[in-house]
Chains A and B, each alone.
Chain A
């Protein structure tokens, strides 16, 4: 391909992306800086945001905890899959993928059926003479919903990096005196760091902005930033405040992912694509 063709080929794409990603963000900025009633320029929307600081913190806390739990749960699974025979690997990979293809709304709803006071688990416990234990509408239930929904997003990139680790590196480490635990901490873990970072980002970003999970599994106290934004747009009829909140959420996510990527070291561009 000639060089000037490349401009011809890429320009429509660039225009499209500017039109439908950058400009919309500018519109969000515009709404964030105008008054809902008068339409005049104002900083009030942004100034009022400090009231939502606790909600931001709560969202970050929940999603960090979820990402961490996903890592703890996902690592053994990814490790196990990466060490199976190729046929078994394919099959298990598919089993991890499958839930991602199914409606997450309904799957979350199933957790409501499982966890609620009159739900499946409590009915079962009731037969054993225990409970009912209140599980739903607790912070734990929201974290569980996040872990459940986003665990595959952790497992898949982890698996991709783990499966690429040359087995001879493990042997080399053993040869140099590492027992199982040390092989893990000195070789496997550092080599899987890009996968960990991708996994954590892929769990953190949707978790920090979710509203469905907290609506269904959370109580009146578990308000997340996604809830607030959704409610401003869909009921509160205050898109300006919603826009301001969205803007801050976006900055928050960019800062967090930026820190994560720095943490992983950016020797290879792109990281892992699942």
Chain B
């Protein structure tokens, strides 16, 4: 019995620790795939310390955790003392209130707080960005408070009330007796509560995910968006360092407590108070150690990154920037701007170098619909977005875009005629084309029989059950079905749409999963074999896995999209945003950007700076005869849009 128990315990500890071991090993892997170890390297750690973004996020998380914990600890302790002395009926009410966030699922707490902030901030006060650092802090304080209260209350119950009487008898005011007596008696509860609040806050993902805006997020929220993109291995390096740090802190605090206990047996008095003090000291020491590590890291990082020399990278003369420093929020697709990896130019760093007074706060989405939801839900400020054609039309129709001032965007002149006067922005008032491309089928030629590659129906082929991926957004998913069935992609016919939904429902059993940017890793490591996606992203994937091929169903039709840069109506820094747009339209910058993004540039002038192989590529710049059946998505009326969205939700949510 006992031996069996020991064995089970060992096995369960292995179970708990294996995934962490996997992540730690991955941090030393030269390859990007977590499942295949190629060779050993320290480079991930160097990359980590050169990545300001990641370290800033860590700092954000620490700031929120430290602030919310301190406030919740003081506030909660005072409240607990008050509640303790309330009449039983009031006390019961107070405890019920305290228990609500404890029992409520995180997702409900997150949803309710975000709705509250948006409702009050945006609808009632008319604020544009009601989801800020402060709302995040309020949310963290709110879910931290119960931990403090619930840990302090029992200590107050246990405390001998005559202690306070004794203190007052000896001349203490109620205030003094609290600080001289009560606080020492309840210190262990305060410390436990504070530690729990701190870990909860530092680790919270769900509530922060719903409550945070774009300009201030915490590490877990950003890690979530990392796990939707092909994840960068430096994240594993950060995990490993955090693991070591927490492990060390825990071991040290254990050892100290042990030492404390041995002393306790010798002198019993005041030991608990001393050990509480010790825990505080450990916590402070830990925070200090963390701060030092982060500090060093930022220092190393700042020294490590080579600032790009702007003049070398731009072709055009840039207009002057603002006098005062501003921050613009850029909200873009994932994997959609060169970030300095793989010897590319870090576009944002280059822009910040060119305009020292403009700081770019960059975040990503992985579908037009997610971006739209984020804007429509309100509560955030965004200065630059890059939606696709049909979404631009929708945003214009709903008054969600600002007209651009082309005086600030002289580089607009380089945009090809073909990409002006588009159906979605006929007067060229709201958008500046960023990229264009086609949607086709990516398949792995190792596993997929060429004979099966006949058209969109490949995505329904039962032969490849569980190896097929599908678009996780409604417009592309419906579009593919419509091309396959020969319907107009811009139809508003409810019968046709219902039929499409039927087909999508039928597709579900053969699908592996719905994806957006997760697709990169899945196709590269051959977890799936067939997927519809954007041509530019195919090129990125093919660099990693040459077995991948691209197929354009010319005979059935396919989507030709234009993604354009816009300024949404919730923008605060319009002029700086226009400078950013102008910067992106510099032919040389566009070329450098497209080299990495692999999408097609709407600026012919840029092609001269491109690798000739890319510039000549059939996939990036298909011949005109291939594009006969290509079509663009137009904006459907709001009602149809909602119907399509609801139908797609139903497809995905049914089981």
Chain A residues within 8 Å of B, Cβ to Cβ = 1-3, 5-14, 16-18, 20-25, 27-28, 30-31, 36-37, 51-52, 54-55, 58, 73-74, 76-77, 79-81, 86-87, 90-91, 94-114, 116-120, 123, 134, 137, 148, 151-152, 180, 201, 205-206, 208-209, 211-212, 216, 219-223, 226-239, 242-243, 246, 249-250, 253-254, 257, 270, 273-274
- The distance in angstroms between the C-alpha atoms of A117 and B231, with both chains bound, is 19
- The distance in angstroms between the C-alpha atoms of A227 and B655, with both chains bound, is 12
Do A120 and B105 have beta carbons less than 8 Å apart? Answer: no
Q: Could you write out 29 A-B pairs with CB less than 8 Å apart?
A: A1-B174, A7-B82, A13-B76, A18-B97, A20-B139, A25-B100, A36-B642, A37-B639, A80-B8, A90-B254, A98-B246, A101-B199, A103-B203, A103-B220, A104-B205, A109-B23, A110-B20, A120-B34, A137-B513, A148-B19, A151-B15, A220-B508, A220-B511, A220-B512, A233-B111, A237-B369, A243-B115, A246-B108, A273-B150
Which residues from chain A contact B150 at a C-beta distance below 8 Å?
Answer: 270, 273
Do A113 and B26 have beta carbons less than 8 Å apart? Answer: yes
Instruction: From known contacts A80-B6, A99-B20, A253-B105, infer whether A22 and B12 are also in contact, taking CB-CB under 8 Å.
Output: no
B135 CB to closest chain A CB (Å) equals: 10
Chain B interface helix/strand/loop/mixed: helix
Since A10-B82, A13-B76 are in contact, a sample of 5 more A-B pairs with Cβ atoms closer than 8 Å, ordered by chain A residue number, is A20-B139, A118-B527, A220-B652, A238-B646, A246-B108
Do B111 and A10 have beta carbons less than 8 Å apart? Answer: no
Which among B36, B203, B473 is the interface contact of A235 at CB below 8 angstroms? B473
- The distance in angstroms between the C-alpha atoms of A212 and B221, with both chains bound, is 12
Which residues from chain A contact B646 at a C-beta distance below 8 Å?
Answer: 236, 238
- The distance in angstroms between the C-alpha atoms of A232 and B370, with both chains bound, is 10
Do B97 and A20 have beta carbons less than 8 Å apart? Answer: no
Which residues from chain A contact B12 at a C-beta distance below 8 Å?
Answer: 73-74, 76-77, 151
B583 within 8 A of A: no
- The distance in angstroms between the C-alpha atoms of A101 and B639, with both chains bound, is 46
- The distance in angstroms between the C-alpha atoms of A1 and B86, with both chains bound, is 11
Which residues from chain A contact B251 at a C-beta distance below 8 Å?
Answer: 94
Instruction: From known contacts A20-B138, A97-B250, A106-B239, infer whether A209 and B105 are also in contact, taking CB-CB under 8 Å.
Output: yes
- The distance in angstroms between the C-alpha atoms of A201 and B85, with both chains bound, is 30
Which residues from chain A contact B82 at a C-beta distance below 8 Å?
Answer: 5-11, 13
- The distance in angstroms between the C-alpha atoms of A119 and B164, with both chains bound, is 62
- The distance in angstroms between the C-alpha atoms of A123 and B178, with both chains bound, is 63
B79 within 8 A of A: yes
CB proximity to A under 8 Å, residues B359-414: 367, 369-370, 372-374, 376-377
B78 within 8 A of A: yes
Which among A1, A116, A234, A274 is the interface contact of B374 at CB below 8 angstroms? A234
Task: Name the residue of chain B whose CB is nearest to the CB of A248.
Answer: B108
Do A6 and B81 have beta carbons less than 8 Å apart? Answer: yes
Which among B4, B22, B75, B97 is the interface contact of A114 at CB below 8 angstroms? B22
Do A223 and B653 have beta carbons less than 8 Å apart? Answer: yes
**Per-residue 0/1 for B41-85: is the Cβ within 8 Å of any A Cβ (1 yes, 0 no)?**
000000000000000000000000000000000011011011111
Which among B100, B145, B254 is the interface contact of A16 at CB below 8 angstroms? B145
B410 CB to closest chain A CB (Å) equals: 36
Do B642 and A37 have beta carbons less than 8 Å apart? Answer: yes
